[in-house]
Structure 1
Amino acid sequence: MLEEFQEPLEVQDVERPEPEPDGVVAKVNGCGVCRSDWHCWQGDWDWFGYRPDPPHILGHEPCGTIVEVGEDVETVSEGDHIAIPFNFACGKCELCRNGRENICENHVGLGFMNEAPGAFAEEVHVPNADINAVPLPDEIDPDTAAGIGCRFMTSYHGMAHRGNVGNGEDVVVHGLGGIGLSAVHIANALGANVIGVDLFEEKLEKAEQLGAVTTVNASEVDDPAKEVRDITDGGADCSVDALGIATTCQNAVNSLGKGGRHVQIGLTTSEEEGKVSLPTDEFVAKEIDFRGSLGLQPSRYPEMLDMIKTGKIDPKELVSETIAIEAVPDKLAAMSDYDTMGIPVCNEF
């Protein structure tokens, strides 16, 4: 429970959620502990509406089992195992009707907004369940499903759809936290040659285990972007900023060659407040594309789940540890020094 920004989080007893007519309540089987939760705890992101009023339950990467169903729900039932996107959609607006539910006009952010208490809890409410409760195939076990949350599915959308990577392209990922390592793993599976960039050797080693063809330790070179341009003989085809600080965003853009495309997944901190200086004229002269990427549309989960079923990608490769809910506050605090690896998952409530 977030009682006050930047103050220690507390595990508390609260009333269980009740389903709205179009919603369901799910027993949480696992919920990833993400740097986005850290941002919310710090009080960041008020500049785009992701700052709830305390007290508030954090947590936005759940999978679960439906335990109660609202009277108007038609497509899911009690006992179904589901993935739960963090970017709840209404299913009715023009964007939803055109397959862009992830940026729904009536978007509600699970764990980030007052309307959607989060999933660091025994149970969580899922509104508009016919669109936001994504049934999981029987072949995907709970341990695998626990790694699908925000970082993995967001990286899938970023690489498969917004970056459209593959065909032996050079892809560079700056920032090898949970999103960055997921992006490495997924881009490799899609057929790209991936370069990982970070300051920490253990994260670089993990990137190579997940398919990176080479890595760059940004703490050991004067200009990480130039290193990437040299490795790729002129610049990458696609770059990813998976962290969201000015340095990684700028380095990622500067890693590109002519005609390259940049995918921005990381969101900024209170230092940047949503704005980063970028080489605008380079975008023009090199015809570089800058593409934002948010979450994953529920309607496109099946293609990611099919790749998981066939073993082409495996969220469990990114799950670094499983913890009890009492350990979540300390795990988030460790993110202040970037002292986490992969995707920690809370699975004991």
Structure 2
Amino acid sequence: MRAMVFEKYGQDAVVRDVPDPVPSDHGVVVRVEATGLCRSDWHGWMGHDPDIRLPHVPGHELAGVVEAVGPDVAHWRPGGRVTVPFVCACGRCAACAAGDQQVCERQTQPGFTHWGSFAEYVALEHADVNLVAVPEELSFATAAGLGCRFATAFRAVVAQGRVAPGEWVAVHGCGGVGLSAVMIAAACGARVVAVDVSPRALELARKFGAAECVDATALAGTGAGAAGTGPGGTGTDGTGTGGTGTGGTAEAVRELTGGGAHLSLDALGSPATCAASVESLRRRGRHVQVGLLPSAAGDPSVPMSRLIGLELEILGSHGMAAHAYGPMLEMVRSGVLRPDLLVTSVISLDAAPAALSAMGATPGAGVTIIEPARRP
């Protein structure tokens, strides 16, 4: 098969022929019809993820057709249209038994723990636990983002964040996850404040339902911290940047919301955006950390006195288990949620190496999808 491969961190990847994958006893091989280009893929290429071994094929959010199944797979056959969470759970550990497959103790992640979906085919483990059927009316390009960015945002806003109609929700960082969070929170009846340094990202945020937008570049020098470091590790997107200072951004959010957000998300993953999100909250507000913070940036400084005095909640959110996709898919099928609108670019596999390397310097707005069958 053709795949995008890199053999050294931070050096040009190439598209070349590699051996076809074969399914494990409990796994499947999926023919990749569409796969998202995510900031996490860039971090993996740069060497920021310790799980990656070289040479490597990145790619972790995908949709396609089951090509081959292992002998122990009970519920899937070739020809099925599927997507998969970026966390592939084992189905046997204590976390899985509790229904918490997104924090599986023995999880695998395509594109990180093994070769991923920037290829014509990808192997996926424990198919009966992890595969999600894609409705016929949903395009593969739309479905690809459901494995990472959109599902991650859905659980962060709805399950972890417990969003309620009429609440103020602040979203710090309007890349793929952030824009998804804006759309989902607005669809749930919340009033959304979107924060970013990119005018294009804020334009899209308003299009997707943000009631207010904060251009963090206008607040430069009003607070401490640096923006644009992006998340490290796997399964989150940082194609938007979160802000140039915490104090000014948080103050702007508090002013726009009449005292602070009920729910605030750091959808980027940097010490600055994490702190700004916490400081954006009103009394008894809820902060959800979605963006993974790169280890090189160190642990963020969380204002604990504010946390205690205002009885704030600090929550983490790490993807969404396959069994929880039903309500989200129903909202997509009914048209209440439109993840298709997040796709702003579709490219071929041959264009993927340049697009991956460009993410470090020129992060784009919206979601870029790679279609391996597309020719330049």
**TM-score when normalising by structure 2:** 0.89
Partner amino acid, structure 2, of 1:215: C
Residues 45 and 270, structure 1, Cα contact 8 Å, conserved in 2: no
Match of 1:228 in 2: 253
Determine the C-alpha separation between the residues in 2 that align with 1:44 and 1:142. 29
Determine the C-alpha separation between the residues in 2 that align with 1:295 and 1:74. 25
Determine the C-alpha separation between the residues in 1 that align with 2:310 and 2:6. 45
Match of 1:13 in 2: 17
Identity %: 40
Matches within 5 A, 1:1-349: 1-46=5-50, 51-113=51-113, 116-221=114-219, 222=222, 223-273=248-298, 275-349=299-373
Q: What are structure 2's unaligned runs of at least 5 residues?
A: 223-247
Partner amino acid, structure 2, of 1:329: P
Deviation at 1:147, TM superposition (A): 3.1
Deviation at 1:54, TM superposition (A): 0.8
Residues 35 and 369, structure 2, Cα contact 8 Å, conserved in 1: yes
Identify which range, 333-342 or 126-135, moves more after superposition: 333-342
What SS is found at the alignment partner of 2:275? helix
Residues 32 and 149, structure 1, Cα contact 8 Å, conserved in 2: no
Partner amino acid, structure 2, of 1:210: F
For residues 188-226 of structure 1, the C-alpha deviation after alignment (integer angstroms, 9 at most, x for no partner) is 111111110001111111100000001000011230110
Determine the C-alpha separation between the residues in 1 that align with 2:76 and 2:338. 25
Determine the C-alpha separation between the residues in 2 that align with 1:8 and 1:290. 39
Determine the C-alpha separation between the residues in 1 that align with 2:250 and 2:31. 45
Determine the C-alpha separation between the residues in 2 that align with 1:35 and 1:339. 8
Determine the C-alpha separation between the residues in 1 that align with 2:311 and 2:199. 34
Determine the C-alpha separation between the residues in 1 that align with 2:290 and 2:80. 30
Partner amino acid, structure 2, of 1:112: F
Deviation at 1:267, TM superposition (A): 1.0
**Shift in alpha-carbon separation, 1:162–1:310, aligned structure 2, 3 A:** same
Determine the C-alpha separation between the residues in 2 that align with 1:338 and 1:218. 17
Residues 74 and 130, structure 1, Cα contact 8 Å, conserved in 2: yes
**Shift in alpha-carbon separation, 1:258–1:338, aligned structure 2, 3 A:** farther
Deviation at 1:270, TM superposition (A): 4.7
**TM-score when normalising by structure 1:** 0.95
Residues 334 and 340, structure 1, Cα contact 8 Å, conserved in 2: no
Residues 61 and 85, structure 1, Cα contact 8 Å, conserved in 2: yes
For residues 21-42 of structure 1, the C-alpha deviation after alignment (integer angstroms, 9 at most, x for no partner) is 1111110010000001011111
Deviation at 1:140, TM superposition (A): 2.1
Determine the C-alpha separation between the residues in 1 that align with 2:265 and 2:6. 31
Deviation at 1:338, TM superposition (A): 4.5
Deviation at 1:110, TM superposition (A): 1.5
What SS is found at the alignment partner of 1:109? coil
**How many residue pairs end up in the alignment?**
342
Instruction: Please give the root-mean-square deviation of Cα atoms over the aligned residues, in Å.
Output: 1.2
Residues 76 and 135, structure 1, Cα contact 8 Å, conserved in 2: no
What SS is found at the alignment partner of 2:17? coil
Determine the C-alpha separation between the residues in 2 that align with 1:209 and 1:95. 38
What SS is found at the alignment partner of 2:11? coil
Determine the C-alpha separation between the residues in 2 that align with 1:252 and 1:151. 19
What SS is found at the alignment partner of 2:315? strand
Partner amino acid, structure 1, of 2:199: E
Partner amino acid, structure 2, of 1:213: A
Q: What are structure 1's unaligned runs of at least 5 residues?
A: none
Determine the C-alpha separation between the residues in 2 that align with 1:166 and 1:138. 31
Runs of 4 or more above 4 Å deviation: none
